[in-house]
Amino acid sequence: MLSDKEIEDAKKRVSYSLKEGGHHEHNDCIRIAYEWLDAQRKTKRVVRKSRALKHLIENWAGRYVSRTDVDVAAELHPHIIGTYPYLNISSRLVRPAKHRLEGIDQAFKHHYEERRGGDPYSTDE
Q: Which CA distances in Å does 42 have to 75, 94, 96?
A: 15, 11, 14
Identify the band that residue 38 occupies on the pLDDT scale cut at 50, 70 and 90. Answer: very high
Residue 117 pLDDT greater than 70, yes or no: no
Sketch the domain layout of the chain as residue ranges: 4-12+20-116
Task: Tell me the per-residue pLDDT of 41-98, one tens digit each, with 9 for 90 and over.
Answer: 999 999 988 888 999 999 999 999 999 999 999 999 999 999 889 999 999 999 999 9
In 62-117, where does DSSP find H-type helix?
A: 67-76
Percentage of residues in the chain with pLDDT exceeding 90? 74
| pLDDT for res 33 | 98
| pLDDT for res 116 | 62
